[in-house]
Amino acid sequence: MMSETTNMMLVGVGGQGTILASRVAAQLLLDAGFDVKMSEVHGMAQRGGSVTTHVRYGERVAAPTISPGQADFILAFECMEAARYAHFLKDGGAIVANTRRIPSLPILIGREAYPDDIPERMSARGIDVRWLDASGIATGLGNTRVENIVMLGAFSSVLPFQEDAWRQALGAVIPAKHLELNLAAFAAGRELTQR
């Protein structure tokens, strides 16, 4: 058991499966015997707004939320969300981020422009980001809805848990009729970061 608390944030936009991925991670941690606290924030999730989930685990966890500068890991399902929440990352922390770009309403109506240089800006700030094209992988698997699980698979390789434990957590959270596709998506994402 760990004596310190480890902090993970999962961030995306409504409809990307951020909360489902968080539930799988929380299940994994509970199965491993940790005290786990999870907090969800839905910012206009039904309309494509930001969705953030804080997952904290350790021997004993007091509060469910993470303060800026305290996240050990961030999993970002969308490019701009990675930049938006990077200030939560602690020194030495890591971000696994999807290259997918989902324009917000101000961008869609032409009031703002989607920045083209987010990865370069984050790199210039010294932020450790592993960028992945989860959308392309999910499309290759025949279902774009598993993009979140591709990302979770990639994210799993930065955490100290065996693949079998992740697969067990997926089986506990994902309905049986969708499990095979989700396990394939998880394996594809995990393979990406182990190359």
Whether residue 2 is predicted with pLDDT greater than 70 in this model: the reply is: no
114: left (phi over 0), alpha (psi -120 to 50) or beta: beta
**How far is it, in rounded angstroms, from Cα 52 to Cα 54?**
7
Question: Which residues on neighbouring strands pair with residue 11, listed in sequence order?
Answer: 52, 76
Whether residue 47 is predicted with pLDDT greater than 80 in this model: the reply is: no
In this prediction, residue 48 has a pLDDT band, given cuts at 50, 70 and 90, of low
State the greatest distance between any 2 C-alpha atoms of the chain, in Å, as a whole number: 51
Give the whole-number percent of the chain exceeding pLDDT 70. 93
In this prediction, residue 44 has a pLDDT band, given cuts at 50, 70 and 90, of low
pLDDT score for 45? 47
Arithmetic mean of pLDDT over the chain: 90
Whether residue 43 is predicted with pLDDT greater than 70 in this model: the reply is: no
46-71: average pLDDT: 88
Domain ranges of the chain: 6-194
The CATH number given to 6-194 is 3.40.920.10
Please tell me the pTM assigned to this model.
0.91
